[in-house]
Amino acid sequence: MTFEQHPLRHERRSLVADVRYQLISFIRSFTLVLYIAMGMAVVGVVMKFLGLTGGSFVFVFAMAVLMLLLLVQVGLSFFYIVSNVWLALLGAFSSFSLVTALLALIFRYQNWFGWQVIFYAVVPLYLLVGVLLFLYLKRFQKLHEPLRNFFYLNLVIPFVFLLLLGIVSFLFSADRFNQEEDPVLQESPIPIDGTAAEDTTGLWRAC
């Protein structure tokens, strides 16, 4: 009787180990695609700064891909981090906040109408994520290696990456990143009404 249970128990362990290995492999591939999109976003910013044709398209496309990946990561956080509820919640909340930050940066770099409202509405949420990530760093060494890698590679580095993009966006005038003539991407998705056009407070005007 005991002899018959050992193979079954060994088979279950092998199945769990195989699923865990496949999941870790998927996360590594997912993270690689995430970093490729981040690299494309940097290329897009450089192209926009130099006024090269297609810079806006490369930038917006890369940022849109990043938004999609981070939206997937919201659900992936709960599916992958089943052993640490707090890290799963932090991963989901941080990923969603980074999506909103990406949207704000797209509006900022494209100098689209209403970027100020979106940008400053997102800043408090972004700062809150920064505080939570900093506080969780105290428990960083207590995590197993796969969870440590997820926390560092999928949450902290993307946060710092967006912080740098935000700083760069204010070091130069928005017009500096929009030298190419692209009537499609220069037009804001938010329609400009008469009230905003006559605004004298400067809230709706881009720098």
Report d(CA 95, CA 60) in Å as an integer: 19
pLDDT tops 50 at residue 7? yes
Domains and CATH numbers, the chain: 2-184 (1.20.58)
> H/E/C letters for each residue in 7-46?
HHHHHHHHHHHHHHHHHHHHHHHHHHHHHHHHHHHHHHHH
Whether the Cβ atoms of residue 172 and residue 43 lie closer than 8 Å to each other: no
Of 167, 154, 138, 132, residue with least CA distance to 45: 167
Lowest mean pLDDT among 36-50, 70-84, 114-128, 175-189: 175-189
Average pLDDT value for the chain: 79
Question: What pLDDT, on the 0 to 100 scale, is given for residue 202?
Answer: 46
Q: Whose structure tokens read 């926009």?
A: 48
Question: What pLDDT, on the 0 to 100 scale, is given for residue 76?
Answer: 85
Segment 112-171, tens digit of pLDDT: 888 889 888 999 999 999 999 888 887 666 777 778 888 889 999 999 999 999 999 888
Report d(CA 59, CA 112) in Å as an integer: 14
Report d(CA 189, CA 187) in Å as an integer: 7
Tell me the whole-structure pTM to 2 decimals: 0.76
Whether the Cβ atoms of residue 70 and residue 91 lie closer than 8 Å to each other: no
pLDDT tops 70 at residue 14? no
Segment 82-120, tens digit of pLDDT: 667 888 888 899 999 999 999 999 999 888 888 889 888
Highest mean pLDDT among 6-15, 21-30, 150-159: 150-159
Burial class (CB in 10 A: 0-12, 13-18, 19+), 90: buried
**Angle made by CA atoms 42, 43, 49, in degrees to the nearest 5:** 90
More confident residue, 184 or 171: 171
Report d(CA 196, CA 117) in Å as an integer: 12
Question: What pLDDT, on the 0 to 100 scale, is given for residue 71?
Answer: 94
Question: What pLDDT, on the 0 to 100 scale, is given for residue 6?
Answer: 56
Is the Cα torsion angle 81, 78, 90, 33 positive or negative in sign? positive
Report d(CA 157, CA 54) in Å as an integer: 27
